[in-house]
Homo-oligomer: A and B are copies of this chain.
């Protein structure tokens, strides 16, 4: 779905990943749990995600850089990040950006 974000400015974390071709260590279960957990965090504004073959893009939206930092350091999220590196992704890139303008249709 398209996230219902407030009027800018706010922050977007763009996470682009290349998956390994094997479904190891409950990837989907962890992804769902991370969404659930993110939604509970202070300053979380929404998330959008799409995967096509091995390329995935997940964009999460946040009120502040602090909220992003706290989420990055969340204990359960740290475990998931480690599993991401060791099991699920062959490569990823995370970009932290400030949304300055938006429009929709």
A95 to B102, Cβ gap below 8 A? yes
Q: In the complex, which residues of chain B have a beta carbon less than 8 angstroms from the beta carbon of A49?
A: 52, 55, 57
Q: Which residues of A contact B (CB under 8 A)?
A: 1-3, 5, 8, 12, 14, 16-18, 48-52, 55-57, 59, 85, 89, 91-105
Q: In the complex, which residues of chain B have a beta carbon less than 8 angstroms from the beta carbon of A8?
A: 95
Q: How many subunits of this chain does the assembly comprise?
A: 2
Query: In the complex, A16→B12 CA distance in Å?
Result: 13
Query: In the complex, A49→B95 CA distance in Å?
Result: 15
Query: In the complex, A14→B5 CA distance in Å?
Result: 13
Q: In the complex, which residues of chain B have a beta carbon less than 8 angstroms from the beta carbon of A96?
A: 99-102
Closest 5 CB pairs of A and B: A97-B97, A50-B50, A50-B52, A93-B104, A95-B102
